[in-house]
Amino acid sequence: MIRKNQRFLTKLYMLTDFAFVQLSFLLAWWIKFESGWIPYEKPIPIESYAMWSLIYGAVAIVVGVMLAVYSPKRKKRYADEFLKIFQTHFVGMFILLSLMFFVKEVNISRWYLAIYMTLNVVNIILYRYFLKKMLNHFREKGFNRQFVLIVGAGTLGKTFYNNLRLYPELGYEVIGFLDDYQQWNEEEANHFKPILGTVDRLASVLDQIMIDEVILALPLNAHHKYLEIIAACEKAGVRTLIIPDFFDFLPARPIFDNFAGMPMINVRDIPLDLVGNRLFKRMFDIAFSLVAILITLPVMACIYIGVKLTSPGPVIFKQERVGLNRRTFYMYKFRSMKLLPEGVEDTGWTVENDPRRTKFGSLLRKTSLDELPQFFNVLFGHMSVVGPRPERPYYVEQFREEIPKYMVKHHVRPGITGWAQSNGLRGDTSIEERIKHDIFYIENWSILFDIKIILRTIRNGFKNAY
């Protein structure tokens, strides 16, 4: 039933994509030739535009199949789907223009094509977003479930079970566990699904119960059983997924490479290592920071005057921070604290009701307006709008010894805000939790993720700031 549902959903996606391509054609035709918004000469008949739209719809679906746009999406992030949709229509439009060139079709309006292409991408992204939300809602209610059997009831199996319960929208239901040694105590029996027997009962369990996926969560000393387990799963036609016993060392989304003919796991695969991603993020940073500076320029002028009138000393405070690839730079802020005596190094941690703050500085820090000059750091390339917050060299040297994986944050440019800060982890909060959020961001970066963090920061305000 689950596989039939998946095939049905795949066909539904294809048909709906095709329908939205034709809807985009009608909207683009109306905007260009009927609305009166854009001047035009007498167009060729609408039938010619309709024919090319039908051709493009078929081309887009074929390209989508080749780029795995119609593969199962239950486990996938929407950001990945967004990128594939964009790639599909970029390639599809290139093919369409090539076909028009070969048949010498030169009468199609270029304005129409631009509107048509934009509407295709926007409409399909929006409908897929709302469809995904709707499917997640129904899966949370118990519809379209997939059934999972966990082989291994030790630490790995229990961790996976607990994590899976955090994502009810995925629609997975654990039927039970298999384990050769483990037995639940009374408390565990009330929390976990039952242990259905030992590992050698796998084949009979798969025959008796409808299972869609088997999760192997065995310790390293039980890996010799994998061959028999995988053979039993494949004989029953059940998908098998393996949780490596060393998963703590792996990134959130591990990548397999092929080296000397052997599959290998890339321990730290970072999306921003790709030149295209870095360029895209840098362009976004420059555009966003320029707009932010222009919008906040009157506010910054008022703050400049306020700092000058309320406290002696420079208006702009610059402090050495550690950034991309462990290189240091000077981060700018509006000064919110009293000047330190000459020769005294600032190694103190800012705390609530810090006596070093000026009265005007307290207002700036509470509203995070003191951070506005950092948009100039973004323009200069020292920082990004979104990324892990940079720290002073004094604390970096301290934390690198005390906190595992602390230095991973320096693989990307530091940010004005980040995934940790948008979740309230600012000021006197756990450094360990901040690093977990920073690493999650680094390993799962996308431009949509950046936009989400910016919106969350604006919505939630800068909590815990002092």
pLDDT at residue 1 in the model: 44
Residue 2 has a pLDDT of 45
Q: What is the pLDDT of residue 42?
A: 65
User: What is the per-residue pLDDT for 70?
Assistant: 82
pLDDT at 255 over 80: no
pLDDT over 60 at 343, yes or no: no
Determine the pLDDT at residue 463.
52
Query: To the nearest whole percent, how much of the chain has pLDDT over 90?
Result: 46
If you average pLDDT over every residue of the chain, what do you get? 86
Q: Does the pLDDT of residue 351 top 60, yes or no?
A: no
- φ/ψ (deg, to 5) at 384: -120, 165
Q: How wide is the angle at C-alpha 215 spanned by C-alphas 214 and 220, nearest 5°? A: 130
- At residue 286, does pLDDT exceed 90? yes
* Average pLDDT for 356-362: 80
This prediction has a pTM of: 0.58
Residue 291: both structure tokens together: 């707009």
pLDDT in tens, 110-157: 889 999 999 999 999 998 888 888 888 888 887 878 899 999 999 889
Residue count (the chain): 466
pLDDT score, position 133: 84
What's residue 193's pLDDT? 95
* 370 close to 336: Cβ distance less than 8 angstroms: yes
**Residues 230-259: what's their mean pLDDT?**
77
What are the structural domains, with CATH classification, of the chain?
2-140 (no CATH), 146-249 (3.40.50.20), 273-339+352-460 (no CATH)
Predicted confidence at residue 465, as pLDDT, reads 54
Q: Read off the pLDDT of each residue in 387-403 and give the average, rounded to a whole number.
A: 91
Question: Which of the residue ranges 25-39, 80-94, 207-221, 450-464 would you say has the lowest mean pLDDT?
Answer: 450-464
| Mean pLDDT, residues 53-58 | 94
Residue 454: both structure tokens together:
């910016």
What is the structure's pLDDT at 38?
Answer: 81
User: Which of 220-229, 239-248, 278-287, 319-328 shows the lowest per-residue confidence on average (mean pLDDT)?
Assistant: 239-248
**pLDDT band for position 341 (50/70/90)?**
low
Distance (Å, whole) CA 316 – CA 160: 49
Q: How far apart are CA 120 and CA 36, in angstroms?
A: 21
d(CA 322, CA 394): 10
Highest mean pLDDT among 97-101, 256-260, 335-339: 97-101
CA distance 402 to 331: 24
pLDDT, position 41: 67
Question: pLDDT band at 348, cuts 50/70/90?
Answer: low
Residues 414-434: tens digit of each pLDDT: 999 999 999 888 777 788 999
